Amino acid sequence: MFNWLKKLFVGEEKPASGVRARNSKGHYVADDKSTPNVNEAYVDGKTPKRKPRRKPAAKKAAPKKAPAKRGRPKKATK
C-alpha cells in the first residue's frame, strides 16, 4: 500500500517519546502488567524501540617479542 494513502486513511502514528512517567514524589512509575496494550511507565503509553547494540571493537594483536638470543653470551669488555 502507498505510504501517503496509508497515512490518509489510517492516520500517522507518532513514534514513542521515551520519556519516563513520574509520580508526585518524582519517582519512576512502573508498568501495570494487567494492561498489555498500554505501558504506564512512559508518558505517552508506548515503549520506545530498542537501539541495536554495537559490536565490540576487535582487539589489536600484541606486538611480537624478539626471540631470545641463542648461543654463548659475549664477553663483557671493560
Decide: 32 and 58 in contact? Cβ < 8 Å: no
> Which pLDDT band, with edges at 50, 70 and 90, does 30 fall under?
very high
pLDDT at 12: 67
Predicted confidence (pLDDT) at residue 9 exceeds the cutoff of 80:
no
Predicted confidence (pLDDT) at residue 47 exceeds the cutoff of 90:
no
Contacts of 28 (CB under 8 A, 6+ apart): 20, 21, 22, 41
